[in-house]
Structures are given as C-alpha cells and as structure tokens.
Amino acid sequence: MKLSFRWYGESDPVKLEYIKQIPTMDSIVTAIYDVPVGEVWPMDKILALKETVEKAGLKFDVIESVPVHEDIKLGIGKRDEYIANYKQNIRNLGAAGVKVICYNFMPVFDWTRSQLDKELEDGSTALVYYKDQVDALDPLNSNLSLPGWDSSYTKEQLAELFAGYKSIGQEGLWANLEYFLKEIIPVAEEADVKMAIHPDDPPWPIFGLPRIITCEENVDRFLSLVDSKYNGLTLCTGSLGCANFNNMERLVDKYSAMGRIHFMHVRNVKLLEDGVSFEESAHYSGCGSLDIVKIMAALHKNNFDGYLRPDHGRMIWGETGKPGYGLYDRALGASYITGIWETLSKLK
C-alpha cells in the first residue's frame, strides 16, 4: 500500500510540509485546476507541479482528476476532439511519471451533499446527505451552491444538459462510456498510466440524471467493456458504502484480488434510518457504518500495492478551509489506516 494525500495546489491551506510529516506518507494526489475542462494540460504546468511536489519530498504519482467533458458523456458535439485532448493529457502525464489517473463519468455534477458543515454530536462538522433536503431542491429553478455542482453553468445550459441525459438514458451513457474507454485505454497502455474510474457518489440517480458506476453488477459490466489492467477502479468506500445494497468488504476483496483497484479512497459514513440519508464520520469503524478494519484486511490479504488516500474528514479542532479536506482529521485517518496495516502485517 502506498499512502497518499489530496492536495489542491498552492492555494490549499494544507501545506505540503505538513502532509510530509504524516508517518509513511508517500505521494501527493493533485491536479491542474486552471485549465478548462476538455483542454490539453500544458506540459510546463505539469512539470512545474511535479517539481513543487517533489521538492517537498513526496512523489507525483496520482492525478485526481482529469475531468471528462460533457460532450463525451453525451456523445455529441466535439466529442472526438475532446477525446483526442484527453489522450494527449494521458501521454503528457505519463511522460511526467504519473502512474494513475482518477476520473469519473457522472453526468453534470460530481459528488453531491446537502450540507457542507453539519455539526455532529462531538462538535465537529461534516459533509452530509439528507434526502429531505435534496428532494426539496429544484436544480433548474434555484441557485444551488452544493459541493460537486458546477456553478459555471447557466440555468439554460443546465436545462439543455438535463434534456440531453434524459434522451440518452442509462444505456446511452453506457454506450458513450464504452466508446470513450475503447479510445483511451490503448493510449493508457502505451503511456503506462492506469486509469481508475471513481464510482458515482451517491450511487443512485440525482434529479433524474442517470448514474451507472453504482454497484457490483455495474462495476463488473464496466470492467468487461475493456478487459485490460489499465482499465481499473478508484474504489471509494464512502461513495459505494453509503448505499446499503453494497457490501464494501466483498467489493474490496473481489476487485483487489482481480488486480483492478488502482486507487483506494478510504472513509467512513454513518447510514441513517431512511436508508438513503447519510453523514460522513471519523474514519474509525466505531463512528460509522463501515468496518474499516475488515476493508483493510481484504486489501492486505490480496497484497494490495496500489495507492490509498484517507478520504473526506470532518473539520475538527477549529480548523477552517475546504470542507472535508482539512489536515487534522485526514491525518488521524491516515494514522488509523496505517496502524491497521502495520498490525495486519505483523500478524501475518
């Protein structure tokens, strides 16, 4: 296992030198954030970012993420031009030494929560998803400000996107994902860069938009679209684990045994009584609904040697900054995870 940490660049209040102080920390997970979606990342920007990371004594191995343009997901417009640009990004990142690219295929919106700063019983704040709050929203007639939602779209553009996805449905989205994979995976093989799709978060349709990387059956279907070790997973325990129909220990065991997990996001969630709502929690198994010890044991049993990062944490000890991405709770999560790994290694 290679321990890694998400970093949002020079504007991130979490400094690289602080991340380096976390025991066994290996790599930084980052990206270039000032290039429009669909465009080629300039090589000089990639190399400057690499230099910054490596000067801090950390590796530049994982990119999260290279976003996929909506034309690719919808199979319209400038799809082939954007795919050509995506291929060049894979080549450029591979030439810079990147080993894994994380991406997702979620329509319009990335991970979705209804609150950024819900105060929990211990006084910390966390990201939460409450069904009643989400159900009360109308994405086409309100000014939404939720994590994962692209505020750059006008209401008219959103309406067009929603209509487009309604037209193609789930099977159309599957077809467009297959087209994309068959184009990019041969390039990833040549560049020796493993592509790792992130599951949909949460793993069910949001506002009628189709979502397809949601469960074991669909992950199996995804992996079969292009049967290559370079076509793999970012297995996020919180994204799939917030649905009670997903058995995370089974999924981690199955896909790590197959060698198709290239990147792990490990976090815990507390599932609420309605079966849909959830709260993000501390990583410790006793705080949430997922058994992190059993998840790590499945990885260890299968000799997982990919990248793993502690995912979203609470905001604790008065820390401010990007919700879910403070230093303190993610550092605690990293120590908890590596403690489990060390124990498993010594008991083997």
Cα angle, residue 283 at apex, residues 280 and 287 outer, rounded to 5°: 70
Q: Catalytic site residue 312?
A: yes
- Residue among 102, 215, 236, 287 flagged as catalytic: 236
Q: Residue 278 is encoded by which pair of tokens?
A: 């959830």
283 is catalytic: no
Evaluate whether 31 touches 53 at the Cβ level (below 8 Å). no
Q: Which one from 61, 201, 253, 311 is the annotated catalytic residue? A: 311
The three-state secondary structure class of 270 is strand
- Out of 265, 287, 300, 336, the active site residue is 265
Question: Which of 198, 262, 283, 300 is labelled catalytic?
Answer: 198
Q: Which of these is catalytic: 61, 287, 312, 336? A: 312
325 assigned to active site = yes
Long-range contacts of 248-253 (CB under 8 A, 24+ apart): 248/290, 248/291, 248/295, 249/291, 249/294, 249/295, 249/298, 250/216, 251/216, 251/219, 252/295, 252/298, 252/299, 253/298, 253/301, 253/302
User: Residue 58 in contact with residue 16, Cβ under 8 Å?
Assistant: yes
- Cβ neighbors of 100 (< 8 A, separation 6 or more) are 61, 62, 63, 193, 194, 195, 196, 262, 263, 306, 307
Q: What are the catalytic residues?
A: 198, 236, 265, 311-312, 325
